[in-house]
Amino acid sequence: MATQTSQTNYDLAANKNKLISINPANGQVAGEVQKATAQDVDACVQTAWDAFHHQAWSGLRQDQRATVLYAIGQGILAERESLAALQMRDSGKPYKECLHMVDSAAGNFRYYAAVCETLQGALTPARGEYFSMALAEPFGVVACITPWNSPIMNEAQKAAPALAAGNAVILKPSEETPQLAFELLRIAQQAGLPTGMLQVLAGDGEDVGAALVKHAGVRMVSFTGGTDTGRAIGAIAGQRLIPVALELGGKSPHIVCEDADQEKALAAVISGIFGSAGQSCVAGSRLFVQRTIYKAFVNSLAERTRQIRVALPDDPTVQVGPLISLKHRQRVANYVELARHEGGEILAGGMPPSGSELQQGAFYMPTLIDGLSNSARVCQEEIFGPVLVALPFDDEDDLIAQANDTAFGLGAGIWTSDYAKAWRIARAIQAGSVWINTYKQSHIATPFGGFKDSGIGREKGIEGLKLYSQNKSIYWGL
């Protein structure tokens, strides 16, 4: 594969104070935002504390706070198409996937508006000479650091509950996709969120992100991104004794038993790994198929994989769009080379597409690899691209041993018509989310997060709100 290291001749050096976003579908400039540096962090944190102390937000009644949160959700929906189009240019994700993410962002604000209104402290009855109550209080200023793969969705998933809990939020979007966070800020201000309660600092992770995590005024950090970055952030948070929520990487097993509905399983396996070009934390990147049906199933899968339509993200027929950048595509290609080197057989893909309209973009063909063992590096490390490795298993014990033989524990999928077996496997798999006869479904009220190296803490649901508040117990003498 020809190695292209730059998609554009845009003069980055001439734009020191700007963060330029590149459309990975064509290498064109997708937009620019003001670039922050570590020096901006102090002022931003101070503004956040000033806003918090002013109590124009944390001092509101819950129904008043809920009204603004709901209005933010409605504001997002009112601009649904233009936000999806912007996210498509920023991230390269297919337009229809971007629409889904915009809806999900709005859903987060709607849900946490409702939850905010129902929040109440717990009161224990009088006991002798006192009674006591437990209250949830905000931390004050929290930093939310997000990745590039689902920008507006990840940003809303943090900002909505953090604001609902009464905090001032500093959002640090990925430098690859900085634009949506500013749109969210604009919509929040239009909806009536007091100034300073939400701020956006777009800049490099190791500069602005690290400075935020280290800043004494930041009292909690919520991070979504890679496991190595999460580990570094967690170490600093540990030193500072501040709470941290970490949503990290995955290497999720997708399991097909011999008694599965194979047609449905095939479709789910394909969308489970190739949706979002594999750039999904819950991508089902390790396929386990029972040995009795392995050959036939993998042959059909290879056939279908070769037919997947790789196209520009605004093409209505697109199934797989580009990766986030040429640099990331090279990383994915290197893993495929490694798989070849480790003895893997490439049954489909394994190269960029040939179509001329895709040549300027970071496209890579959906790739299926056979013939490796679960200990191969491509089975153990998160590739975050359209690369699926197929592995056979003999029985439940063999399956559980292989599926759990990973540092990660984010998701798992099981296809079987035997519900007792599905239950046994679901309980034995070490993962935060398990899908049975479906895959990658996500409900705002159902907690989401990882076991093992996939993270700490749970987003979504009531758990997602609890992340952003600390408990205070008050005793009253009678």
| 311 lines the binding site for ligand NAD (CB under 6 A) | no
Measured from the Cβ of residue 299, the count of other Cβ atoms closer than 10 Å reads 12
Measured from the Cβ of residue 452, the count of other Cβ atoms closer than 10 Å reads 17
Sheet (strand 433-436) strand order: 345-348, 367-370, 387-393, 286-290, 253-256, 411-415, 433-436
How many degrees, rounded to 5, is the angle at CA 454 between CA 448 and CA 455? 70
Helix (H) or strand (E) holding 461: helix 461-466
Decide if 50 contacts 33 (C-beta within 8 A): no
| 145 lines the binding site for ligand NAD (CB under 6 A) | yes
Block residue for tokens 């095939």: 266
Q: Which of 97, 176, 247, 382 is catalytic?
A: 247
Q: Nearer Cβ to ligand NAD, position 41 or 51?
A: 41
Binding track, positions 363-382, relative to ligand NAD; x by CB under 6 A: -------------------x
Angle (deg, nearest 10), helices 62-78 and 80-91: 70
Total residues binding ligand NAD (CB under 6 A) = 29
Q: Which of 63, 81, 206, 394 binds ligand NAD (CB under 6 A)?
A: 206
Angle (deg, nearest 10), helices 80-91 and 179-190: 160
| 213 lines the binding site for ligand NAD (CB under 6 A) | yes
Q: Nearer Cβ to ligand NAD, position 266 or 429?
A: 429
| 115 lines the binding site for ligand NAD (CB under 6 A) | no
| 464 lines the binding site for ligand NAD (CB under 6 A) | no
Question: By C-alpha distance, which of 246, 39, 63, 24 is closest to 143?
Answer: 246
Alpha carbon distance 111, 101 (integer Å)? 15
Q: Which of 7, 167, 229, 374 binds ligand NAD (CB under 6 A)?
A: 229
| 233 lines the binding site for ligand NAD (CB under 6 A) | yes
Instruction: State the nearest-atom distance from the C-beta of 150 to ligand NAD, in Å.
Output: 6
Q: Nearer Cβ to ligand NAD, position 31 or 226?
A: 226
In the region spanning residues 389 to 448, those forming contacts with ligand NAD, defined by CB under 6 A, are 410
Q: Nearer Cβ to ligand NAD, position 217 or 371?
A: 217
Instruction: Kindly report the length of the chain.
Output: 478
| 146 lines the binding site for ligand NAD (CB under 6 A) | yes
Q: Nearer Cβ to ligand NAD, position 224 or 367?
A: 224
Decide if 334 contacts 2 (C-beta within 8 A): no
How many degrees, rounded to 5, is the angle at CA 212 between CA 34 and CA 75? 55
Instruction: State the nearest-atom distance from the C-beta of 142 to ligand NAD, in Å.
Output: 14
Choices 18-26, 66-74, 167-175, 395-403 (CB under 6 A): range interacting with ligand NAD: 167-175
Give the largest CA-CA distance in the chain.
81
Alpha carbon distance 253, 251 (integer Å)? 7
Q: Nearer Cβ to ligand NAD, position 101 or 346?
A: 101
Alpha carbon distance 159, 244 (integer Å)? 15
Decide if 24 contacts 325 (C-beta within 8 A): yes
| 456 lines the binding site for ligand NAD (CB under 6 A) | no
Q: Which of 107, 194, 225, 352 binds ligand NAD (CB under 6 A)?
A: 225
Q: Nearer Cβ to ligand NAD, position 234 or 344?
A: 234
Block residue for tokens 């959700």: 73
Structure tokens at 255: 């399991």
Instruction: State the nearest-atom distance from the C-beta of 113 to ligand NAD, in Å.
Output: 22
Instruction: State the nearest-atom distance from the C-beta of 290 to ligand NAD, in Å.
Output: 27
| 210 lines the binding site for ligand NAD (CB under 6 A) | yes
Instruction: State the nearest-atom distance from the C-beta of 379 to ligand NAD, in Å.
Output: 16
Q: Nearer Cβ to ligand NAD, position 181 or 369?
A: 181
Measured from the Cβ of residue 105, the count of other Cβ atoms closer than 10 Å reads 31
Query: What one-character-per-residue DSSP string does 78-130 give?
Result: HTHHHHHHHHHHHH---HHHHHHHHHHHHHHHHHHHHHHHH---EEEEEETTE
Q: Which of 58, 91, 179, 224 binds ligand NAD (CB under 6 A)?
A: 224
Choices 19-27, 113-121, 144-152, 388-396 (CB under 6 A): range interacting with ligand NAD: 144-152
Tell me if residue 381 is catalytic.
no
DSSP state of 230: H
| 276 lines the binding site for ligand NAD (CB under 6 A) | no
| 142 lines the binding site for ligand NAD (CB under 6 A) | no
Summarize as ranges the residues that interact with ligand NAD (CB under 6 A).
145-149, 172, 174-175, 205-206, 209-210, 213, 224-226, 229, 232-233, 247-250, 281, 382, 384, 410, 450, 455
Show which residues are catalytic. 247
